[in-house]
Amino acid sequence: MDEMNATHMHHGSKNNRLLWGLLVVGVVVLIVAGIAKKQFRYRSTQVQPEKDLYQVVLLDNDQAFFGKLHIKDGRHPYLTEVYYLQPQAQEVDQNGILLNGGERKFTVTKRGEEEIHQPTDTLYLNPEHILYWENVGADSLVAKGIEAKKKLIESMTESAPEEAEEAMSEAK
């Protein structure tokens, strides 16, 4: 009888180990599933930029870029139609105080317009360096400045072929 109990206990401990192993695997599967669900929910509920507005992205080096913000796969931000503000040269008095009302003035500059390397119109951003981004109001001075700059660029590119033709005929 002792032999029978020993055999039964031996099988019982095997069953207990199997049961514990299945329990551990089940808990691990539930934890992984919970994390995956949370990640999916986070990505699918992230705030997306409004497509009909421009966005401003402020980086941790105090640079600010304006444009159409896109977020690929919920993790890879990039801007198209990229602009930035450039301070205008202004007169100051002998104490360094701005003349003409003391307001700083800025010019909207299209990225690629003044850079010597003429970058393309896509700016890929490192998300670790973005302090924040926000939509730019449609009636803001920045939005109006961007629209004015776009019209100026369009008018220049439309007149460029005519000017090139005139230059060619003058060269003959």
CA distance 119 to 122: 8
Which of the four pLDDT bands, split at 50, 70 and 90, describes residue 77? very high
Q: Are residues 77 and 156 in the same domain?
A: yes
Q: Are residues 3 and 66 in the same domain?
A: no
Per-residue b or e along 99-109, where b marks 16 or more CB atoms closer than 10 Å to that residue's CB: eeeeeeeeebb
What CATH number did the domain enclosing 92 receive?
2.30.30
Q: Are residues 33 and 106 in the same domain?
A: no
Q: Are residues 86 and 158 in the same domain?
A: yes
Q: Are residues 103 and 136 in the same domain?
A: yes
Q: Are residues 149 and 92 in the same domain?
A: yes
Please give the residue that has the higher pLDDT: either 79 or 26. Answer: 79
Q: Of the given ranges (37-46, 57-66, 72-81, 144-153), which has the lowest mean pLDDT?
A: 37-46
Q: Are residues 119 and 61 in the same domain?
A: yes
The pLDDT score that the predictor gives to residue 46 is 65
**Domain tally for the chain?**
2
The pLDDT score that the predictor gives to residue 41 is 47
Please give the residue that has the higher pLDDT: either 47 or 146. Answer: 146
pLDDT at 45 over 50: no
Q: Are residues 90 and 36 in the same domain?
A: no
pLDDT at 42 over 50: no
Please count the other Cβ atoms lying within 10 Å of the Cβ belonging to residue 78.
16
pLDDT tens across 135-170, in order? Answer: 999 999 999 999 999 999 888 877 766 665 665 555
Q: Are residues 5 and 70 in the same domain?
A: no
Q: Are residues 31 and 63 in the same domain?
A: no
In a domain, 105, yes or no: yes
What is the domain range of residue 117? 55-171
The pLDDT score that the predictor gives to residue 43 is 47
Query: Any idea of the CA torsion for 126, 85, 142, 108, to the nearest 10 degrees?
Result: -120
Asked if 57 and 125 count as a contact pair (C-beta separation under 8 A), the reply is yes
Bridge partners of residue 122, in order along the sequence: 80
In a domain, 50, yes or no: no
Please give the residue that has the higher pLDDT: either 24 or 131. Answer: 131
